[in-house]
Every structure is written in C-alpha cells, then in structure tokens.
Amino acid sequence: MDEQMERAYRNFFTEYPDVVSVEDLSHMLNICKVKAYGLVKSGQIRGVKIGHVYRIPKKSIYQYLEVKI
C-alpha cells in the first residue's frame, strides 16, 4: 500500500476496530447480514473463521471497496 492509500486507510471507519465481525461489516457497508456473510464466504472480502465466528480485517474491507470504486 502506498503512502497516500495508507493515509486514507487510517481515516477509514475510525469508529470500528481493526478487526470486525460480520455484523459490523453489514453496518459499515449498509447491507444485510446475509449479504455480508456471502461476501466473506465467497472470498470477495477476506475473513477468518475462528470457531463459529468470522473475523474480518478492516484492511480487507478497504481493499474490497478500492476494487469496486
């Protein structure tokens, strides 16, 4: 990530921690939880399943949006 992107990332959803839940993801993107789970399960947004819960690095959401915009 270049310096300009790094600066933009630091200001990206500052009210959320660096690793978020699917519920947080759904709020961040204003989508339903089913769609959020779909994005993670399909690999469009990188996440890790720990036990029964997905954890999504905020950087993955940023990268997903960079591709979509």
Domain CATH for 27: 1.10.10
Q: How many domains does the chain have?
A: 1
Averaged pLDDT of the chain: 92
**Whether 36 contacts 25, CB under 8 Å:** yes
Q: Is the dihedral of CA 22, 47, 18, 28 positive or negative?
A: negative
Q: How many H-runs (helices) and E-runs (strands) does the chain carry?
A: 4, 3
Read off the pTM: 0.86
Q: What is the mean predicted confidence (pLDDT) over 17-24?
A: 96
Residue ranges making up the domain that contains 15: 3-68
Q: Is the pLDDT of residue 1 over 70?
A: no
User: What is the percentage of the chain residues whose pLDDT exceeds 70?
Assistant: 99
For residue 67, the model assigns a pLDDT of: 87
Q: Is the pLDDT of residue 40 over 80?
A: yes
